[in-house]
Amino acid sequence: MLIKRSDLPIWLLSGMLVFAAPLSIAAEQTVTADQAISALERTFGVHKGERRNHTKGTCAAGEFVGFPEARAYTRSALFSGKPVPVVARFSMPGGNPNVPDTAKIPRGMALEFRLPGGKLQHMTMLNTPMFGAATPQTFVDDIVAKKPDPATGKPDPEKIKAFKASHPDSLPQAEFLASHNPPPSWANSSYFSIHTFKFVNREKNTTIVRWRFVPQDGEKRMSDDELKSSPPDFLEKNLIDRIKQGPVRWDMILTIGVPGDPENNPTLLWPADRKEVKIGTLTIFSATPRKGAECEKINFDPLVMTDGIEPTNDPVLLFRSPAYAISFGKRINGN
């Protein structure tokens, strides 16, 4: 019998330090989760008690209501039509807790859905429609290339150039970020699943899907002048101030894949004409600084899933789980 992590008690999930990917995938990887975390530590330093990646962030809380339209594709209890409590974390990638909010890097939204009976569903997303690596090796090589030169305190431009030349799978996301300025608020950005997942319905029919959360406040981007004049920290304050005016909402849009669409490469987009269905609404009622807040206790492992949602064999998706676990184990031990 397959035991899903969402069926395990929360205390056991929190204590998991290793949960290996399937052996067929692990055997193909040239880097380990330990090596990935070590690369992050060497590039960004070790900030005790903090996440090794997506260190800077803001906690939030709210609820999700899944729509009946999703039931044609999945039997997941997430789409019961009833409100499901959600703990959220908005974040900046990398291990620098002081990275400026003006940086032209992705923004992240991680969600923990708390379903009846102690069941959990996690979603960890970025505000770019693609990821910056098709394999764990590219991800690690990217982190290594960004290690600051001791002489300048900044990454060596030649190493960055060499990385891009030798890793074409990193280019789609880099080009997207170069041509799209970051948002002025967490509330003004869409967030994408990045990976492909499988939805399984009550008839056991499987559909490959991707999803995104689209802001009801509208997608907005900062101007070049705003990027130059804005302070290094504004995203958290802007979200907290926005919520004082009322709840912030996103629509969950499901994209339906067809046979032949890329399943295991998160750098490749699907054709724009794929069928889309609105299957839920996320509402955020409160936001707080991360220190001591609820979201900081959570390891947002993307393989924590409810019955009716399954992973594909995307090597990056499967790699994230053991890497997150190692990072989580270090920070809860105060390292």
Q: How many C-beta atoms surround the C-beta of residue 197 within 10 A? A: 23
Q: Measuring CA to CA, which residue among 114, 43, 62 is closest to residue 298?
A: 114
Catalytic residues: 54
Are the C-beta atoms of 199 and 305 separated by less than 8 Å? no
- Measured CA to CA, the distance from residue 82 to residue 164 in angstroms comes to 46
Q: Phi and psi of 167, rounded to 5°? A: -135, 75
* DSSP helix/strand/coil, 4: coil
Q: Which residues of the chain have pLDDT under 50?
A: 1-28
- Measured CA to CA, the distance from residue 162 to residue 243 in angstroms comes to 44
- Measured CA to CA, the distance from residue 294 to residue 287 in angstroms comes to 11
Give the tens place of pLDDT for each residue, 154-176.
Answer: 999 999 999 999 999 999 999 99
Q: Is the dihedral of CA 184, 185, 189, 194 positive or negative?
A: positive
Class of the CATH-defined domain 5-332? mainly beta
Report how far Cα 184 is from the mean position of its chain's Cα atoms.
19
Are the C-beta atoms of 60 and 287 separated by less than 8 Å? yes
Are the C-beta atoms of 105 and 176 separated by less than 8 Å? no
Are the C-beta atoms of 163 and 150 separated by less than 8 Å? no
Give the tens place of pLDDT for each residue, 77-89.
Answer: 999 999 999 999 9
Distance spanning both ends of the chain, measured CA to CA? 36
Q: Which pLDDT score is estimated for 332? A: 86
- Amino acid identity at 208: I
Q: Phi and psi of 5, rounded to 5°? A: -65, -25
Token pair 């997506």: residue = 54
- Measured CA to CA, the distance from residue 111 to residue 301 in angstroms comes to 10
Q: Which pLDDT score is estimated for 290? A: 86
- Measured CA to CA, the distance from residue 332 to residue 335 in angstroms comes to 7
